[in-house]
Amino acid sequence: MNDLHPGKLGVADGIALVFGIVMPRVFLSTISNLIQQDGPILWLAMVIYTIIPLIILYMMAYVHKGITGDIFIVCQKLIGTIGAWGILLSYSIMFLSNGALILRLYSEYTLLTALPRVEFQVVIVWYAVSAGILCYLGIEALTRTSYIVMPFSIAAIGMILLLLIPFYIVYNLTPWQGNGVMQAVQTGIKGAGYNVGVLALVFLAPAFQNTRTIKKAALYALSYAGMLRVSFILVYTMVFGNAVGAEKTMPLFELARLVYLNQYLQRIEALFIVVWVVFGLLAVAGSLYVGLYLLAVLLKLPTLRPIVPLGAILIANLAMMPPDIGYVLEVDQKLITLFDVGIYVFPTLLFIMAWWKKRRGKLCTSASS
Amino acid sequence: MGKRMISNLITGIKDVLVYQPPDQPTPFVLVEPRTEKEEIDGEFFPSAAVTEGIRELEFMINYAKKLDTFMQKSSKDLRSKEKHEVVKKIKAEFEMIQTEWKEIKKHTIKNHSIDGMYNNTVISTDINENQNMLESIYQLPLNKDVVIRSITISDQPKIKVLIVFMDGLIDKKIINMTLLEPLMFMKNSKEHVQGEDFISFVMEECLPSGQASRVGSFREVQQAINTGDAVVFFDGAGEAVTVETKGYEHRSIGTPTTEQSVRGSQNAFTEVLRVNTALIRTMLHASDLVTEMIPIGARGHSNCAVMYIKSIANEELVEEVKRRVSSISTDIITDSGILEHFIEDFPRNPFPQTLSTERPDRVAIHLSEGRVAIFIDGSPFGHILPVSFFTLMHSSDDFSLNLYYTNMLRLVRWFGALLSLLMPGLYLAISTFHQEAIPTELLLSIAAARAQVPFPTVVEILFMEFSFELIREGGLRIPGILGSTIGIVGALILGQTAVTAKIVSPIMVIVIALTGLASYSIPDYRLASAFRLSRFVFVLLAMSMGLIGVACGFLLFIAMLCSLKSFGMPYLAPLAPKTVNGGDIIFRSPAYHQKRRPDALNTKDEIRQKNTSRTWITDSSKGGNDHE
Amino acid sequence: MYIRLILGTMLLSMGIFLSGCNGARESEEVAYIVAIGIDKAEQEGMIKVTYQIARPNVEGNKGEGEKDTVLISNSAITIAESLNLLKATTALVPSMSHVKVLVVGQELAREGLANMWGSLKRYREYRGSMFVLVAKGTARDFLEGNKPSFNISASKYFETMLDSGVETGYYLRVSFHQFYIRLKSNSAESYATFVDISNLSGKGEIATPKVAGSKIEGYTAGGIPLQGGNPIQFAGTAIFNGDKMVGTLSTTETRMMAMLLGNFNNGFLSIEDPLLPKKFLNVNLRLGSAPNIKVALEEERPVIDIKIMLEGEITNLPSGINYEQESYLRLLEEQVNQVCHEEMANMIQHTQELKSDVIGFGYYIRPKFTNYQDYLQYPWFEKYSQAKVNITIDTKIRRTGLMIRTYPVK
C-alpha cells in the first residue's frame, strides 16, 4: 500500500486506463494503411484485434493469480531474475515507445489540422508537459480523469458517426470478402499487438482491488474499444470507400470535416479536435505511466513521481527524432512486430511456466499425500 | 541704532530667504520594541526571562528559608519565654515577613503577566489576592470593561464576595435579579457552613440561575468572564462560581443573504455561536446530535463548535476534525473561513473543500447525511465537511421544488458553470485559431465589428474581464443605497461607450456579460470565484494554443479536481472514484428513492430510509375496507 | 501541490511567451473566400482562378449599392500557385475554410481536371463539403453575374440556393466529397450541378423535348425563360466520364436521376389529362421508398431492374373530371407511370450514350462479387452502355389536395 499501489482502483478505472491507451490508434493513419490491405472486410480484422488480447489477458490473469506481489516478483518466480528483467524492460520500452509514437503522430496531426503555423517542437513539448503533469498526479487521478471524459468522447465520436448518415453508401462494404478473409484474419492477428496496452492491467494488478476487477475491466474496455472501432471502421468504409479511404491521413478528422447536415450544422471539426486531443493526451500519459511504472518496479523505487519529468523528457526527445512523417509511419509498422512479441511471446511463455509449475506442484502434493 | 536696524534687516532678510523648518509636532515613529536579547557568539548568556525566573526562584528559596527560621524561632520562643513580649515581637516579625511575601508576590505576578495568560494559576483562598490577580489580568483600573463588584453577604460570619463580569457582555437585569439580590439578601444560614460546603450551599440555595458551575483555575475564570458570564469569588474558598449572565447585543436571526431561496426555511445563522447551534437543534431534533466545544486561539479564546450525529457520522472523520481543530495554535480566529484554512487538506487550491452556508436547514440535512459541521464564535457561517464538488453545485431548495424542474435548473447551473469557466477561452480560441467553426455570416459580422478595434482579441477579453471584476469589486464597496445603481450604470455605460469608442467589439461585450452572468449561476460563492480564477488560465491557454490549449487545460483541470480531497473524501466522490449512486449527484432522483446516504462518507448507518419509504402505497387504504 | 503550481506557471509563461509565434489570426485579418471559380486561361496550359471574397460589412464604410463581395482573378499554372499569387496581391490573408462553392468552367471541365482535384483535396483548408458547380460559360462570368435579388450575403445565397434544389429536383446538390468519391470509385461516375447566366430575355431554350403524355420540357441552365431577378440559373446536371465532363442532363432528366439516387423529395409533374389530352393535370410527387435497383450480370450484357415507388398528391385539375374517384385515379396513376417511365428510360439511354454511369448502378453489382479484386477486374463502365434496363414505376396518388371534387364552371 504505497504510492505505487493504492489498491483502490476499481473496474471503472481499469476500463478507462485500457480504453485510453488502446483506442487512439484508430484515429491515426494506421486505418488507412489497413484498409488498403484488406478492403471492405477490415472490420473483421478489428474484431480479431479485440478478441486476441482478451484471451491473452485472461492467460496473464491466470499467471498472476497464484503469486502475490508485483509483476517483477511474478516473473522472477517463474523464469528467474534475468528473464524478469528482460521481459519487464522490453515491456517498458514498448510502452514508452508507444507513448512517444503516439505523441509524435498527434503532434504532427495537430500541426496539420488545428495549428498549422505553430512550431513543431512547441507542440511536442506542450503535449509532453501536459501528459507529464497528468502522470505526476498519479494513477488514480489519471484513470479517474479518463473515466470522466470517456463517455463524452465516445458520445462525441458516436455523434460524428451518426451525423454522417446522409453520406453512407452501404454498397461500399461489398464485396464482403474484400481482399480475402484470410488476409483480414492475418491482419487481425498481426495487429493484435496494438492492443498490448491491455496488459497494463496485469502490470498494475497490485493497484487494483482484485483479479476479478482486472478481468472485468479488460472485458469491458476491450469490448467498448472493439465496438467503437468496428463501428468506426464500418462508417469509414461506407463513407469513403476503399479508394478514397486509403488516401486519408487522418480518418477521424476527415469524417468530422465532412459533417454537413444543413447550412447551420457544418464545419464542426474544430470542436472535435478537443475530443481528439483528449484521447491523445490520455494515451500518451497512460503509456508513459505504465512504462515508468515498470521501470520503478524493476529498480524497486518507492515512488514514481521523481522520474516522471525524466520520462516526459525522454518520450518528447524520442518523438522528435524521426525526420519526417513517412519515417514515423514506417517505424510504426516496424514497432508492431515488437508489440506482437509483447502480446504473444511473453504472455505465452509466462503462462506455460505458470501452468507447468502449478502442475508440478500438484503432482508433488499428490505424490506426498 | 543704525547698526541694530541693519542687523534686524539682515536677520529679517535671512528669515525670509533661508528655509525655516515649520513648527511641527515631533513625528511619531513606531519603533520595534527593544528586545533584551543579546546574541553574542561563543558565550552563553541566559535570556532575560530565564534570569528573571532564576532570580524569582532564589527569592522564593530565601523567603522559605527565612520563614522556616522564623517559625522555628517563634515556636522556640513561645515555649520558653514570656508570652506578651514574645507575641509582640513575633507579630512584628510576622508582619515583616508578610510584607516581604507581598513584595515577592507582586514581583511574580508582574513576571507572569509577561505572557499574559495565567492559564495555570489556581484560584487562591485569599480574596484580595484573587482581586490583585484579576486586576493584573485585566489591566485594571486601566481597562474599563471589567467590573469588580465586592459585596459582603451573610452577617455572621461576614463573608466578602467578589462579583466579576464584563460590562456590555452581560445583561444587567440578570445580574441584579439572579446574583446580587439573592446574595445580598441571603439569610444567615442556620447550619454553619464553610469553605467548600458553603459554595455548594450558595449554589443550591441562593443562585436562581440556569447555569452555574464551580471553577478552580483562572483559565476557566477568564473564559467565563470573556464570554459574558459573571464569576463570583468567595473569601476563603479556593474555587469560584461562574453564573450564566450572557446578555450581549447581537443581530437577530435574519434571512439568508447569500443563499436566498424561493422555497425552504428563511432562517439564517447569526454571529452568536449558541444561537447558531440552537437553530440547528430546532431543525434537527436528534438526541445524539453532539455539539462539542473546542476553544481555539491563544488570545481569542474563541469557541469552535463541532457538530455531528453520533450514530451516523464516521468516527474517524469526527476524530480527525477534532484533532485538526484542537491542534491549531494561533492568536485569534474570528471567521470560519480562516478556520477552514487552518484545517483543510489543500489550502493552496482555490476550490473550496468545505461547504460554507448560512442556512440551518442545509446544515441539518448534511448532518443527517453523516457529515460534520463546524461553527466558530462570531461567524454567521457554518462549514460542512467533507464535501464533494457536486454538493457545492447543489442549492438549498433543490429538494423543495418539483423533481423535473429542479433537474432542469441543475442542468442550467452546470451549463452556466461550464460557460463561466470556458466561454472567453473558447471564444478566443475559435475566433483567432479556428475560424472555420464559426458560421460564415457570424464570422463576417465579428470581423466587421472588430475591423476598427485597435487591440487583439486577448487584450479585449482581458480589458473587459478586468472592468467586470472592477465593477464587481467596486460595487461591493460603494455605500449601500448607491451600490446596485452605480454598478448597473457603470456596467451599462462602460459597455456602451467602450463599444462606441471602438475599444472593444460588441460581441466581446456579449461574451463577457454572458460569462459574468453564468458565474452567478454557481450556487456556492467560493466555487464561483475559483471558477472565475481558472477562467483566466483558460484565456491564457487559448491564447497560446487555441482549442488544443483549452482541451489540455480542461483535461488537467479535471485531473486536478480528481486528485483533490476534502477531509479524506475524494472531491469528485460519487463519480470518480465511482461509488454507489445515492441519487443526488448531477441530477436528483425523487426524495423517496434516496435510500442510501452518500457512499463516500462511509457512515455508520448507510441506509437512510427503507426500500418502501412510502408505506401508504403498499398498505390498503382505509376508505374501501371500512365496512369489514 | 507546490510543484503543480510551478508547473502551472511554467505552462502559463510558456503560453504567454509563445503567443507571438503561434499563428493566431484575428478574425478581421483574414479574407474569407466564399466561392472559387476555375477557368481555362488564355495562355496555354494555365488556369484562371477567380476568388469571390466576402467583405465584412463595416459600419459606415459601405457605399450605396456596393457589393458585399470582391472578385479577384489570376492566372497560374496550378491552383496552389494561384493561391500564392492571391496571397501576394491582397492585404489580408486569404482563407479557404469558408468556401461554399467551387465553380468550374465548362471548357476546362471538358478537358479534364485530374491534376487539379488532388491539390484541392490535400490542402487542409479546402473542404469536402463545398459544392461543385459547372458553369456553361466561364466561372468568372458566372460569379460576376451573380446578383442575389434578396438581401442575403453571397455565402448564404449559395447555401440556400443549393438547399432549395430538393424542392423541384431540377438540380442536385453535389458536395466536393461526393464528387471526389465518385471520381475515384469504380462504381459510379461524377456529376455536378450545371449553372449559367441567363440573358433575361424571357426566351427559353429547350434541351429535351417533352415525352408523350407529358406537358413539360427539359431545360438546362441558361435556357430557362426568365425575366428579372437574379440572372444566374441552377438547372440540370453536368455529367462526367472519369475526370472529363461529357455532357449535361436537363431539368427533367435530372429529376429522374434524383429518383434513382433516392434524393427526390418533392416535385411537381405536369402531364396530359388521360381523358382530355388537351388539358393538363398537375401532381406533386415524391419517392414512396428508396428505389429498388437490381443489376444482373448476364453473359453478354448486364440487366438493370429498376422499381420506383412514387407517392403523390393532386395539386391541379382543370379538366373537372372526377379523378378523385377510385376508378379514375387508376387512370391518372397509369399516366404518371407512363410519363415517368419514358422520361427515365430516355435519361438512362442518354447516359448510356455518354458512357457515364452517373446514377451509380455500379454500386449494385458489388454484392455479386465475393472478392474485391474480382470486382475491380469487371469492366463495368464498358458494359454499362450496353446494359438492358427494365423500369417499373408504381405511383400511388395518396391525397387529393384541399379539394375532394371539382364542380364545372357554369
CB A278 within 8 A of CB B555: yes
pLDDT at A252 over 70: yes
Q: How far apart are CA C339 and CA C341, in angstroms?
A: 5
Whether A147 and B576 lie within 8 Å, measured CB to CB: yes
B441: which chain C residues are within 8 Å (Cβ-Cβ)? 153, 155-156
Cell digits of residue B524: 456556492
Q: Which of A267, A268, A275, A305 to mutate to test the interface with B (most CBs of B within 10 A)?
A: A267
CB A172 within 8 A of CB A26: no
CB B336 within 8 A of CB B253: no
Residue with cell 522564623: B70
Per-residue exposure over B544-563, b if at least 16 CB sit within 10 Å of its own CB, e if not? bbbbbbbbbbbbbbbbbbbb
pLDDT at B113 over 50: no
**B289 conformational bin, left if phi > 0, alpha if psi -120 to 50, beta if neither:** beta
Whether C367 and A176 lie within 8 Å, measured CB to CB: yes
Distance from CA of B441 to the nearest CA of C (A): 8
Q: By three-state DSSP, how is residue A266 classified?
A: strand
Q: Which of A108, A117, A266, A274 to mutate to test the interface with B (most CBs of B within 10 A)?
A: A274
Residue with cell 478566443: B428
Choose among B269, B275, B383: nearest CA to B325. B383
Q: Which of B414, B543, B548, B579 to mutate to test the interface with A (most CBs of A within 10 A)?
A: B548
Ranking A135-139, B194-198, B283-287, B514-518 by mean pLDDT, the lowest is B194-198
Nearest residue on chain C to B346, alpha-carbon basis: C1
Q: Chain centroid to CA C32: how far?
A: 23
Per-residue exposure over B11-32, b if at least 16 CB sit within 10 Å of its own CB, e if not? eeeeeeeeeeeeeeeeeeeeee
Q: CB count, 10 Å around CB of C244?
A: 14
Nearest residue on chain C to B348, alpha-carbon basis: C1
Q: For residue B352, what pLDDT is reported?
A: 93
The answer to whether B446 contacts chain C (CB < 8 Å) is yes
Instruction: Indicate the pLDDT class of residue B114, thresholds 50, 70 and 90.
Output: very low
Q: Chain centroid to CA A49: how far?
A: 12
Q: For residue A1, what pLDDT is reported?
A: 38
Ranking B531-540, C73-82, C145-154 by mean pLDDT, the lowest is C145-154
Choose among A288, A225, A130, C3: nearest CA to B555. A130
Cell digits of residue A124: 511536442
Select the residue of B436, B548, B576 nearest A144 (Cβ to Cβ): B576
Share of chain C above pLDDT 90, in %: 25
C22: which chain B residues are within 8 Å (Cβ-Cβ)? 544-546
Whether A122 and C374 lie within 8 Å, measured CB to CB: no
Q: For every residue of chain C, which 3-state class applies, written as one string?
A: CHHHHHHHHHHHHHHHHHHHHCCCCCHHHEEEEEEEEEEECCCCCCEEEEEEEECCCCCCCCCCCCCCEEEEEEEECCHHHHHHHHHHHCCCEEECCCCCEEEEEHHHHHHCCHHHHHHHHHCCCCCCCCEEEEECCCHHHHHHHCCCCCCCCHHHHHHHHHHCHHHHCCCCCCEHHHHHHHHHCCCCCCEEEEEEECCCCCCCCEEECCCCCECCCEECCCCCCCCCCCCEEEEEEEEEECCEEEEEECHHHHHHHHHHHCCCCCEEEEEECCCCCCCEEEEEEEECCCCEEEEECCCCCCEEEEEEEEEEEEEECCCCCCCCCHHHHHHHHHHHHHHHHHHHHHHHHHHHHHCCCCCCHHHHHHHHCCCHHHHHHCCHHHHHCCCEEEEEEEEEEEECCCCCCCCCCC
A39: which chain C residues are within 8 Å (Cβ-Cβ)? 372
Q: Over the stretch B529-574, which tens digit does the pLDDT of each residue have?
A: 999 999 998 998 888 888 999 999 999 999 999 988 888 888 988 8
CB B551 within 8 A of CB B430: no
Q: For residue A369, what pLDDT is reported?
A: 41
Q: How far apart are CA A133 and CA A124, in angstroms?
A: 14
Cell digits of residue B306: 463541532
Domain of A242 in residue numbering reads as 11-363
The answer to whether B558 contacts chain A (CB < 8 Å) is yes
Q: Which of A145, A153, A269 to mutate to test the interface with B (most CBs of B within 10 A)?
A: A145
A175: cis peptide before it, omega within 30°?
yes
- Chains touching A (at least 3 CB pairs under 8 A) are B, C
The answer to whether B551 contacts chain A (CB < 8 Å) is yes
Ranking A224-233, A325-334, B406-415, B577-586 by mean pLDDT, the lowest is B577-586
CB A135 within 8 A of CB A316: no
**B545 conformational bin, left if phi > 0, alpha if psi -120 to 50, beta if neither:** alpha
- The two beta strands, C93-95 and C69-76, are unpaired
Q: How far apart are CA A160 and CA B324, in angstroms?
A: 51
Instruction: Indicate the pLDDT class of residue B260, thresholds 50, 70 and 90.
Output: confident
Select the residue of A39, A118, A247 nearest C23 (Cβ to Cβ): A118
* Between B257 and C61, the higher pLDDT residue: B257
A118: which chain C residues are within 8 Å (Cβ-Cβ)? 21-23
Q: How far apart are CA B37 and CA B330, in angstroms?
A: 24
* Domain map (residue ranges) of chain C: 30-56+66-250, 265-409
Whether A262 and C163 lie within 8 Å, measured CB to CB: yes
CB B367 within 8 A of CB B387: no
Q: For residue C276, what pLDDT is reported?
A: 84
Select the residue of C22, C178, C372 nearest A118 (Cβ to Cβ): C22
Q: CA separation (Å) from B485 to B418, B475, B479, B480?
A: 29, 9, 11, 10
Whether C27 and B432 lie within 8 Å, measured CB to CB: yes
Q: How far apart are CA A225 and CA A220, in angstroms?
A: 8
Q: CA separation (Å) from C59 to B305, C62, C63?
A: 64, 7, 10
CB B218 within 8 A of CB B137: yes
Segment C99-124 mean pLDDT: 84
B386: cis peptide before it, omega within 30°?
yes
Q: How far apart are CA B166 and CA B168, in angstroms?
A: 6
Segment B302-313 mean pLDDT: 91
Nearest residue on chain A to B545, alpha-carbon basis: A115
The answer to whether B551 contacts chain C (CB < 8 Å) is no
Choose among B94, B101, B168, B166: nearest CA to B129. B101
Whether C129 and A262 lie within 8 Å, measured CB to CB: no
**For residue B111, with 0-12 CB atoms within 10 Å meaning exposed, 13-18 middle and 19 or more buried, which class applies?**
middle
* Domain map (residue ranges) of chain B: 48-112, 127-243, 273-387, 411-570
Segment B182-192 mean pLDDT: 67
Q: By three-state DSSP, how is residue B372 classified?
A: strand
CATH classification (class only), C265-409: alpha beta
A240: which chain C residues are within 8 Å (Cβ-Cβ)? 181
pLDDT at B110 over 60: no
CB C168 within 8 A of CB C137: no
Looking at the structure of chain A, the number of domains it has is 1
Q: Over the stretch B483-535, which tens digit does the pLDDT of each residue have?
A: 777 777 877 888 888 888 888 888 899 999 899 899 989 999 999 999 999 99
- In one-letter notation, the amino acid at residue A13 is D
Select the residue of C5, C16, C56 nearest B348 (Cβ to Cβ): C5
Ranking A173-187, A308-322, B97-111 by mean pLDDT, the lowest is B97-111
Half-sphere exposure of C187 (CA within 13 A, CB side): 27
B157: cis peptide before it, omega within 30°?
yes
Segment A155-171 mean pLDDT: 90
Q: Chain centroid to CA C253: how far?
A: 13
Instruction: Indicate the pLDDT class of residue C60, thresholds 50, 70 and 90.
Output: low
* Between A318 and B599, the higher pLDDT residue: A318
Q: CA separation (Å) from B446 to A115, A208, C100?
A: 21, 52, 19
CB B386 within 8 A of CB B601: yes
- The two beta strands, C101-105 and C47-54, are unpaired
Q: By three-state DSSP, how is residue A321 classified?
A: coil
B570: which chain A residues are within 8 Å (Cβ-Cβ)? 144
Select the residue of B441, B452, B560 nearest C155 (Cβ to Cβ): B441
The three-point CA angle A325-A329-A330 to 5° equals 115
Q: How far apart are CA C103 and CA C161, in angstroms?
A: 14
Instruction: Indicate the pLDDT class of residue B3, thresholds 50, 70 and 90.
Output: confident
Q: Chain centroid to CA A61: how far?
A: 18
Residues of C with CB under 8 A from a CB of B: 1-2, 4-5, 8, 11-12, 14-16, 18-19, 22-28, 30, 32, 34, 54, 56-59, 95, 97-98, 100, 127, 153, 155-156
Q: For residue B628, what pLDDT is reported?
A: 44
- The two beta strands, C69-76 and C131-135, are unpaired
Select the residue of B432, B440, B448 nearest C34 (Cβ to Cβ): B440
Q: How far apart are CA B52 and CA B111, in angstroms?
A: 8
Whether C374 and A267 lie within 8 Å, measured CB to CB: no
Q: Mean pLDDT of all residues in chain A?
A: 86
Whether A185 is in a domain gets the answer yes
Distance from CA of C316 to the nearest CA of A (A): 32
Q: How far apart are CA A214 and CA A219, in angstroms?
A: 8
CB B570 within 8 A of CB B576: yes
Q: Over the stretch B383-393, which tens digit does the pLDDT of each residue have?
A: 998 899 999 99
Choose among B525, B504, B412: nearest CA to B455. B504
Q: By three-state DSSP, how is residue B570 classified?
A: strand
Residues of C with CB under 8 A from a CB of A: 3-4, 7, 10-11, 14, 18, 21-23, 97, 121, 124, 127-129, 156, 159-160, 163, 175, 177-178, 180-181, 184-187, 363-364, 366-375
- The two beta strands, C101-105 and C30-40, are parallel
Residues of A with CB under 8 A from a CB of C: 39-40, 112-113, 115-119, 122, 125-126, 129, 133, 136-137, 167, 169, 171-172, 174-180, 240-244, 247, 254, 257-260, 262-263, 266-267
Q: Mean pLDDT of all residues in chain C?
A: 85
Q: For residue B274, what pLDDT is reported?
A: 87
Whether B578 and A10 lie within 8 Å, measured CB to CB: yes
Q: Mean pLDDT of all residues in chain B?
A: 83
Q: How far apart are CA B417 and CA B432, in angstroms?
A: 24
Q: Chain centroid to CA B178: how far?
A: 32
Q: How far apart are the first and last CA of chain C?
A: 94
CATH classification of the domain holding A340 = 1.20.1740.10
B552: which chain A residues are within 8 Å (Cβ-Cβ)? 126-127, 130, 277, 281
